[in-house]
Amino acid sequence: MSERLGVTPAQTVGPYLHIGLSWPDGPYVVPEGTPGAFWIRGRIVDGTGAPVGDAMVESWQADPDGHFDHPDDPRGARAATVPGFRGFGRADTDAEGWYALHTVRPGPLPTPDGETEAPHLNLSVFGRGLLHRLVTRIYFPDEPANAADPVLRTVDPGRRDTLVARPAADGYQFDIRLQGEHETVFFAV
């Protein structure tokens, strides 16, 4: 086996994250005008309920067919059938704590145990005061596959709804509560 190296520790992005991490096209997981595309918008609040105006979210998801254009997808890397699909989104919050991502619904995913993961986006949250990213997931409401999702199943039933977006006028809303009452479920990966 090769030598083991200690990982470099994480540090906060700090208050000036925007100069390094904001991309003009960041929110566009799929290009504007993509058929079936919608917005996921949400507000990030801290333990006092105040908006977090200096945070950033990053999303990662499968394409609508449940595939990844990535060499480690054991089913084979495969370009998405949606033109311009990046799978990745990045959006910082405004002064009121709102972020927005423009995307399409990912497909369900097979697991090594023969189960099926319901459609979801993985989300990383970065911000001043967060020494390491927080990881959460966005699931979709009225999705029958949620009931059998092997991740949702392990989450305290009283907190599961923090992982499920709500319908909104132009897509979905997914708020993130960093701390306290109705705290969003965050994951260790």
Q: According to the binding rule CB under 8 A, does residue 131 interact with other proteins?
A: yes
Token digits for 127?
């911000």
Q: Which residue is nearest to Fe ion (CB)?
A: 14
The DSSP bridge partners found for residue 102 are 28, 39
Binding range to Fe ion, per CB under 5 A, among 6-14, 24-32, 98-106, 132-140: 6-14
Cβ closest to other proteins, residue 37 vs residue 176: 176
The DSSP 8-state label assigned to residue 146 in this structure reads G
Amino acid letter for position 70: H
Cβ closest to other proteins, residue 75 vs residue 166: 75
Closest distance of CB 161 from other proteins, Å: 14
Q: According to the binding rule CB under 8 A, does residue 153 interact with other proteins?
A: no
Which of 80, 82, 104, 178 binds other proteins (CB under 8 A)? It is 178
43: partner contacted, choices other proteins, Fe ion, none (Cβ within 5-8 A by kind): none
From the CB of residue 167, how many other CB atoms can be counted at a distance below 10 Å? 11
Cβ closest to other proteins, residue 128 vs residue 168: 128
Token digits for 159?
């907190």
Applying the rule CB under 5 A, the residues between 13 and 32 that interact with Fe ion are 14
Q: According to the binding rule CB under 5 A, does residue 76 interact with Fe ion?
A: no
Q: According to the binding rule CB under 8 A, does residue 92 interact with other proteins?
A: no
Q: According to the binding rule CB under 5 A, does residue 129 interact with Fe ion?
A: no
Applying the rule CB under 8 A, the residues between 2 and 41 that interact with other proteins are 2-21, 23
Cβ closest to other proteins, residue 49 vs residue 170: 49
Q: According to the binding rule CB under 8 A, does residue 150 interact with other proteins?
A: yes
Long-range contacts (CB closer than 8 Å, 24 or more residues apart) made by 9-14: 10/131, 10/132, 10/133, 11/131, 12/126, 12/127, 12/128, 12/129, 12/130, 12/131, 13/56, 13/126, 13/127, 13/128, 13/130, 14/128
* E strand or H helix that includes residue 149: none
Q: How far apart (Å, rounded) are the C-alpha atoms in residues 80 and 88?
A: 13
